[in-house]
């Protein structure tokens, strides 16, 4: 597999590898914003591709989601509900983990989780507003009221009341 080819349905590990390679080329100014965006658009067309991209882009050292090139935002917006869903889940998980790491006294990990939370929030502000509102309303209902389809997601990770409250606050902050 070369840097400019993507399997039509990459596995999660393949997608992580591909995303890391492309982001490295972009950072080295060997890929334009537009070429990167087109490639990412093809990658996020599948769930594993999107998951792989977001693991690398949200949690990694690449500044791509801090800069959010318009061409990339356009591709991620066009990807629709799948990208909105993954970004909302990353917002929730990063928020809860930041609190967990602070409780454990792990400042470095807490800061990494905060960076993922901030990147997720900013990306959600740039995606399709109707899709984002609908998805975040569902997440807020589960975090604040313990109801709805995201309840099993929050239960699966064992988030406590304080973490759920922090998730609710992060969701509400996206609208600010």
Half-sphere exposure of 18 (CA within 13 A, CB side): 28
For residue 114, give both structure tokens.
């905060």
**Nearest residue to 45 via CA among 82, 2, 72:** 82
Select the more confidently predicted residue: 5 or 66: 66
Q: Please give the Cα distance from 13 to 48 (Å, whole number).
A: 8
Half-sphere exposure of 125 (CA within 13 A, CB side): 15
**Average of pLDDT values for 4-33?**
90
Asked if pLDDT for residue 78 goes beyond 90, the answer is: yes
The predicted pLDDT at position 92 comes to 97
The predicted pLDDT at position 1 comes to 45
**Nearest residue to 75 via CA among 123, 5, 117, 28:** 123
Asked if pLDDT for residue 5 goes beyond 90, the answer is: no
- Residues 143 and 117 sit within 8 Å (Cβ to Cβ): no
Split at pLDDT 50, 70, 90, the class of 176 is confident
The predicted pLDDT at position 111 comes to 97
Distance of CA 38 to the CA centre of its chain: 18
Is residue 105 classed as helix, strand or coil in its secondary structure? coil
Q: Please give the Cα distance from 138 to 31 (Å, whole number).
A: 37
User: Model confidence over 24-73: pLDDT tens digits?
Assistant: 999 999 999 999 999 999 999 999 999 999 999 999 999 999 999 999 99
- Residues 110 and 98 sit within 8 Å (Cβ to Cβ): yes
Asked if pLDDT for residue 121 goes beyond 60, the answer is: yes
Asked if pLDDT for residue 3 goes beyond 60, the answer is: no
The predicted pLDDT at position 2 comes to 44
Q: What is the DSSP string of 44-61?
A: TTSHHHHHHHHHHHHHSS
Is residue 170 classed as helix, strand or coil in its secondary structure? helix
Of the given ranges (86-95, 108-117, 141-150), which has the lowest mean pLDDT? Answer: 141-150
How many helices and strands (H and E) does the chain possess? Answer: 10, 0
The whole-model pTM stands at 0.92
Q: Please give the Cα distance from 142 to 117 (Å, whole number).
A: 18
């Amino acid at each position: 597999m070369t840097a400019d080819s993507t399997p039509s349905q990459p596995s999660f590990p393949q997608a992580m590898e591909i995303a890391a390679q492309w982001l490295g080329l972009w950072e080295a100014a060997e890929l334009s914003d537009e070429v990167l965006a087109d490639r990412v658009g093809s990658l996020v067309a599948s769930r594993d591709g999107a998951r792989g991209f977001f693991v690398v882009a949200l949690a990694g050292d690449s500044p791509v989601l801090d800069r959010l090139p318009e061409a990339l935002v356009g591709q991620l917006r066009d990807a629709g509900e799948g990208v909105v869903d993954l970004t909302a889940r990353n917002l929730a998980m990063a928020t809860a983990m930041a609190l967990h790491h602070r409780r454990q006294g792990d400042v470095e990990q807490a800061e990494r989780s905060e960076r993922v939370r901030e990147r997720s929030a900013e990306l959600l502000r740039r995606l399709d507003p109707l899709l984002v509102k609908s998805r975040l309303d569902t997440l807020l209902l589960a975090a604040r009221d313990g109801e709805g389809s995201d309840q099993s997601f929050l239960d699966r990770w064992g988030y406590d009341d304080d973490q759920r409250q922090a998730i609710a606050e992060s969701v509400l902050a996206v609208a600010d």
